[in-house]
Amino acid sequence: MNASLRAARSIAFSLVPIAALALLAPWLHVNVLVALGLGFAVAAVALVGGAAGTTHYAQAPGDLVPLGLVGLACMGGGYALSHFGHGRIATEVISGLVASGAVLAVGSAVGQAVGGRIADPGHLLAVAFASSAADIWSVHAPQGVTHAIVMSTNVALQRMLTLSSAVAPDRVPQPSIGVGDVIFAALYLAVCRKHELSRTRMTVAISIGLLLAGAATFALKQPMPALPFLGVTVLVFEPRARRVPRQDWFATGLAAALLVASAVRVARQG
């Protein structure tokens, strides 16, 4: 079995918890907060499993291209299923699984392609700053892409760009985690593999970052950007990510300034 097929198989396995939750949802009698938390946790498990499997098996550029292309095709298929089968529970569940698998494939392929070109683990500090700045703006600014997707009434579009999971007792999948979070999880794992960092430590860091982002979302009762949490936990758990080469101090400082500017501007907008 070639690397692309192994990666695709790992993505399929990572969708099992999402499918299981959809099947069991009507029999789960829990309050809304627990149901939302369970849905998010299942989506987070799928993200970590899919990104970890993909970065482990599909390592060469030739492995990533077919994976990304199949993912894009599945995105289109998931959108069509969701759009034309809206209101039919079976179609909604299937479209959510197809779209979630597509998001994992495309996001992991893109993240790994970028992460595989990062020359030093210390560059992850600038990545954490810049990605956090972009995510804060995207989620909270009225002009942000993520904000527009969250506020959109087009459920098919939301599902096409997110990992979706059921919220008990409803089987219909709800958007939980965006494709951008998949991209950066795969990027961090790709850097981990390339520079022989601890894979276990990186996986734990990503998992904790996602859980913290979910907890903040539920506590504040509003969508919260996940990438700042991922960036912090990666930097805390991986010491080499904090060792910036001297020649890159200026670029890292610019990324930090961008983060401050993004946060200040969003705060001023309210």
Report the pLDDT value the prediction gives residue 221, as an integer from 0 to 100.
83
Write down the domain spans for the chain.
3-269
Q: How many CB atoms lie within 10 A of CB 126?
A: 20
Q: How much is the pLDDT for 207?
A: 95
Can you tell me which residue has the tokens 């893109």?
Answer: 110
Residue 226 · residue 177 · CB < 8 Å: yes
Q: What is the pLDDT of residues 83-97, one digit of tens each?
A: 787 778 888 899 999
The pTM assigned to this predicted structure is: 0.94
29: three-class secondary structure by DSSP: coil
Classify residue 157 by burial, with Cβ atoms within 10 Å: 0-12, 13-18, 19+: middle
Over the chain, what is the mean pLDDT?
90
Instruction: Show the low-confidence residues of the chain (pLDDT under 50).
Output: none
pLDDT tens profile 173-226: 998 999 999 999 999 999 999 999 999 999 999 999 999 999 999 888 888 899
**What is the Rg, in whole angstroms, of the alpha carbon atoms belonging to the chain?**
18
For 163, the token pair is 């990992």
pLDDT on residue 270: 62
